[in-house]
Amino acid sequence: MDTREALGSWIDGPKAAAEKMGADFGYRGERLGLPRSGPGSIAGPGRRIGALFVDGWLVSLVAYGLLAQGDRSAANLWTTPLFYAVSVLFLATTGTTVGKRLFGLRVVRLDGSRATIPQVLLRTFLLCLVIPAAVWDRDTRGLHDKAVGTVEVRI
């Protein structure tokens, strides 16, 4: 093995190196019995992060304009609790938030049914902690979804 090949395998990561040796990881969501693409398939990280930014921006706008009346420090105090409340309300009732709806996403249980209220409460709490949402498995499901048995799918 030459230096270039060794460096390339290090940069590509362990998954690429394993695939070069013949390992087959399948597509994202295959282990969960979800389709490869289209409705019901696992949403990609770009869509999920985009939806999160839209939701965060809308909540920040409300916190800054209505609740804090222009005071930035008060708006910062209100943003996370308001994000939690709005996310729980929308996810528990419709399975989607404004940002998720714009990006064509929905949060469901692994069997495809709507997430229960306790699942939504814990999932959103873990999402607000940030770290569980930043740690993904090979299906790109965050720990916040794995902990409560949910998955974010395309509509």
Residue 136 domain boundaries: 44-154
Question: Per the domain annotation, does 15 fall within a domain?
Answer: no
Tell me what percent of the chain is helix, strand and coil, each rounded to the nearest 5: 60, 10, 30
Mean pLDDT of 99-104: 97
Q: How many CB atoms lie within 10 A of CB 107?
A: 26
Question: Per the domain annotation, does 35 fall within a domain?
Answer: no
pLDDT of residue 8: 56
Q: How confident is the model at residue 47 (pLDDT cuts 50, 70, 90)?
A: very high
Say yes or no to pLDDT of 83 above 80: yes
CB 96 within 8 A of CB 63: no
Question: Per the domain annotation, does 139 fall within a domain?
Answer: yes
φ/ψ of residue 142, rounded to 5: -75, 160
Say yes or no to pLDDT of 17 above 80: no
The residue with greater pLDDT, 100 or 73, is 100
User: What is the spatial distance between Cα 55 and Cα 83, in angstroms, rounded to a whole number?
Assistant: 8
Look at strands 105-109 and 150-154 and give their pairing: antiparallel
CB 140 within 8 A of CB 28: yes
Question: Per the domain annotation, does 119 fall within a domain?
Answer: yes
pLDDT of residue 2: 54
Number of domains in the chain: 1
Question: Per the domain annotation, does 7 fall within a domain?
Answer: no
